[in-house]
Structures are given as structure tokens and as C-alpha cells.
Amino acid sequence: MTPKDLLFHYWEILYPETDTALLEDFLSRLTPQSDHAGNSQSDWYKDAVVYSLYVDLFNKDFTGLMEKLDYLQELGVSCLWLLPILDSPMRDAGFDIRNYDRIRADLLGLDEGFSKKEQEQVFGNFLKEAHLRGIKVIFDIAINHCSDEHPLFAEARKSEGNPYRNYFIWSKDTGLYSNARLLFKGIENSNWEPNGDGWYYFHRFFSFQPDWNYKNPEVLLAMSDNLLYWQKKSVDGFRADAIPYLWKEEGTTCENLPKTHIIVKFFRAVLDYVKPDTLLLAEACQRPREVVKYLGDGDECHAAYHFPLMPMMFKAIAAESRTPVVHTLSPEVTPPIPDNAQWFTFLRVHDELSLELVYVSEEDCKFIHEHYCHKPEWDFRVGEGVSARLSELMQRDPRKIALAYSLMLTLTGTPVVYYGDEFGKLNDKEYYKEQIKLTGKDDTRFLVRGRIDWQVLENVLKDKENFHSVIYTTIKNMLAARQSMKVFGRGETRFLGSPNEILAYVREMPGEKVLVVNNLSSEPQTFNHPFPDENLVVLHNEGFLMDDHREEIKLEPHGFVWFVVVS
């Protein structure tokens, strides 16, 4: 079926008792860009190195970010993931969206009340400069919920008869959807918030973030319009925040429901109808067997985060064992994905080191928390997460930080570098305290955010012996090595037999073959050359030696080596 035919098909599944007039009117306003058909760059995300940042915390605004595009290009970044930039009261770092077609005035460097033309000029200039450097741009869009200051919610809460009431979910019975788990355990007490008139509105996240009601077809089309507006402005893709929760049904957990997948397929078909190479990235904090469903048959999201792999990389280093990673990436845990799909991998992002029991066992949660929650104030979600920067989690040990990056950059998927981690940014206590005062929420995730002081950083990086300079040079060199080989983003992964302390694997595709050997141990280790009839050319290494006969690979504590295998 064509994307247009698919849209009618999905509409009939979601709204069988609603005629197609609304959809037909919606489609009449769209202009397909047929010149994008067959675009060879449609899977560009497989070769990307993604860099995640808050525009204001990174360098004040889009003008400041443009000034640092050369820095990012030199680092080896090919895609920017902009954390929330849309208009927001900023009670949840921008995930509480007030207007979906407006960027926050402070990020644009404009006064409140700016025009669309002014917005498009500033943001358009930034996109142009990024694209000139070969850097794609995607950004976050929360499609499950909005801010309680959104104009439609402000209308909806006025009265039961308000025309926008049905855009959200209301009840006088807070026992409705009682099987929906509390996502912010320890922060929120209920999924229902009183409106002050005897009615309650439903929310899965903070109480100031009402959920959209996708049982109302107007909501589906309005959100589609939001995506299309930014697609037309040349944004390269969207990180679809909190997608498992879109559709609600009584008697269910309200997660991963069949009609949620139909909604995502609808969004994908809409984007493909207009411009097929626009990335849709799933933020589905679930087990891989559930997450792969958001990739569909190549007809839902193009890519998804591999949430369980992240904590298992940390466990592998703490336990000095290959098993957590090998098991997590086994077919029993991580099912195959469509050829055009991709996993996104990460060590740290703007959130905590998540140990949600939805995809981490209680035993693993306890083990990882005990080994990485070095300070009580880092605790998040009552033991189900650790709020700390990578350098803090690794106790500022350059060897462990490099080893963690070796795993992320060479295992399956597209890597995400969290801003500041490339130079070992530390937890920001002052920013944490500032945000508690601003939001009224003791959210320890604020520790892992914070601003970059570029004047201080540039001076620090000049000192080659400084911790931050050592980390920066190491990560930059690793990114360059990764980008020199397409196999890291596209090749198959085959684990090799080895001692438990060694994690060794081959990444291979036609014309390229790489051997990666990681020492997870705090003691030196040796590993026999697995391909004695082939030559090994060092691509990158930290703490590696090879004997004169090239039979044994010798690794220092937490050392690793990447080889190009030459027949």
C-alpha cells in the first residue's frame, strides 16, 4: 500500500465509527515531495555519531550553538539530538510543551511575542549551518503529554462542556486505569490530578503534564500537524518521547497496547508521505522484545534506544564479566530488527542511569545500584536509578571511561554522546539546587545536566595532562576511528569465545571486518590471536601490547584494542 492508503487503513482501525472526512481534509493540505523517493541517504542514521545537548546549557542559545558547530564537527559528530527546545514553562526541562510550533524565546535570542518569521530565520540559519557541515538535526517532541499551560488544556479545564475537553482524559473515578504503574515513584503519588471541580485529569508523568487523549481523532491529526510543521522547516527527525503510553484501555497496564503501535505507524506514514528520509526515533523504555515492536516491519520507527544494554555495559565493567553484554545482545533477549532499522546505544543521557524493573531484574538493579551509587544524593526513583555523570560513575578513572566508550562505540548500533561526557563533565550541584528552587521538585536528574563554561573549558583543554583534556583527546580519537569504518554502524556482531574477563567480538560486513577485544578486568589479561591466518592492523587501542610472534594480545587493566582484520 502507498503511504496514503496506509493512512486510511490505520484510521479505520483506530476510529472505526468515525468517517474519513477529517482525514481527507488533512491529506488535502499535504504536498508530497516525490523527489525524495529512492533517496540513498534514507538510512543515514546507521552511520551517525549522535551528540545530545540542551541548547541553553551547551552555549546559551542557537547563535551560541552555531558558534560551536566547528567544535562538534571536529569532535566527529554527524547528528545533533536537541533536547527539548519547544515553548515550555520548563518545569520538566522542556518536556512539558506549551506550544508545539514555537521554540522558546531564550533559545532564539528573541523577546517574547516574536513572530513565526523571526523564529524561522534564526532556527533556519542554524539548520543551514549544521547541514553545511554534514550534521543532521533531530529534536525531542513529547507526543504523550503536554504542559498544563498548553492553550488547549487551559480551555479544557474550564468546564465539562468545553469543546477541547475531549483532547484530554478526565474522570471523577480515580480508580480508572488502576493497572497503569506509577512511573515517577517517589515523586508523584497518583496518575490522577484534581482539577478543583470534582474532576481529575490523567497523567503518566508529572502532575503538570496531562496526557493527550488519542481516542479523539482530532488529537492524532493535531500531533501530525506538529511533526509536519518542523519537517517542512528541514528538521531531519524526531525523538518520539514516551511512546509506549499513547493509547489507554481500562483493565490494561496502558503500555504497549496494539493501538499505540497503530498511532506510531500513522505518524511514520504521514512523514513518509511528505519526506521519506525523516527519522522517527522511539523512546520506549521497555524490554527489547517490546521495543522491537516499535520498529514494526520497517513501518513504525526507524530506530529505537536499546535501554537494557546501557546498564549491562556498566554491570559488565563492575562484575568484570562478559556475560551481561553477551546475554543482553543474544537473540533470546534482543530479537532481530528489520534491515532498515537501527538500535541507538548510549552510556549516559539527560536522565538517570535507569534501572527500571520493567527491563532490569531486581538482582541486577541491586548490583548496579550498589556499585555505582557512590553518594546517597545520586539515588533516583527509590533505588531504580542513579543520577550521575559518566565520569562520576566511573570515579573519574580515565581507563574505565575509555573502556565504557569502547563498548558503546563498537557494539551493535548508533552511539549517542551526551554533551560534556567527551571531556568528563562532572555532576553540577549548583544547577541541581537552582532547578529545585525553580520547579519545586527534588529531581536528582538535574545533577547530570548543568551548563558548560566555555572559557574555563578551553583553558583546561590546553593542559594535556588535565583529566578533562585526557578524556577529550581519548574520546575524539575513538570517534575518528569509528567513523573511518562503516562496519560499526552496519555490520553483524559475532561474539568470540574468551575468558569471562575478556569481551571479544567481530563486527563484519562485505568488505570490512573488525576485531574488538576489551579487558573488563582490573588485572592484566591475555587473549590468543583468533585469526592466525589473517593480519591484524591496529585501528585504535588503550593499554595494549602484542608479543613479538603476534600470537598473544596483551591488555592492561581495563585496556582494549580495535583491529582491522586483513585477509
Nearest Cα neighbor of 402 from 337, 471, 458, 305 is 471
| In the block, residue with C-alpha cell 468545553 | 162
* 114 burial via Cβ count (<10 Å: 0-12, 13-18, 19+): middle
Nearest Cα neighbor of 213 from 175, 170, 160 is 170
Q: Which of 283, 352, 356, 392 is catalytic?
A: 283
CA atoms of 445 and 94, how far apart (whole Å): 14
Neighbours of 535 (CB within 10 A): 11
E strands within 235-382?
A: 237-241, 279-282, 303-305, 342-346, 353-354, 379-380
Contact 407, 518 (CB under 8 A): yes
For residue 378, the 8-state DSSP code is G
Contact 224, 267 (CB under 8 A): yes
Q: CA 391, 396, 399, 401: dihedral to nearest 10 degrees? A: 0
Residue 294 grid coordinates: 516499535
For residue 95, the 8-state DSSP code is -
49's CB contacts (< 8 A; 6+ apart) are 76, 77, 78, 79, 414, 415, 417, 479, 482, 483
292-315 burial: b if 16+ Cβ within 10 Å, else e: bbbbbeebbbbbbbbbbbbbbbbb
Contact 147, 209 (CB under 8 A): yes
Element (H, E) at 544: strand 535-546
The answer to whether 397 is a known catalytic residue is no
For residue 535, the 8-state DSSP code is E
Nearest Cα neighbor of 335 from 368, 363, 294, 280 is 294
The answer to whether 129 is a known catalytic residue is no
Contact 539, 564 (CB under 8 A): yes
**Residue 390: strand, helix, or coil:** helix
Q: Identify residue 50 by its one-letter amino acid code.
A: V
Q: Which of 211, 241, 300, 421 is catalytic?
A: 241
Q: CA 449, 453, 458, 461: dihedral to nearest 10 degrees? A: -40
* 11 burial via Cβ count (<10 Å: 0-12, 13-18, 19+): buried
The side-by-side arrangement of strands in the sheet containing 200-202 is 170-171, 200-202, 192-194
Residue 357 grid coordinates: 524493573
Residue 176 grid coordinates: 480508572
Residue 4 grid coordinates: 496514503
Nearest Cα neighbor of 141 from 47, 31, 226 is 226
CA atoms of 226 and 168, how far apart (whole Å): 17
Catalytic machinery residues: 241, 283
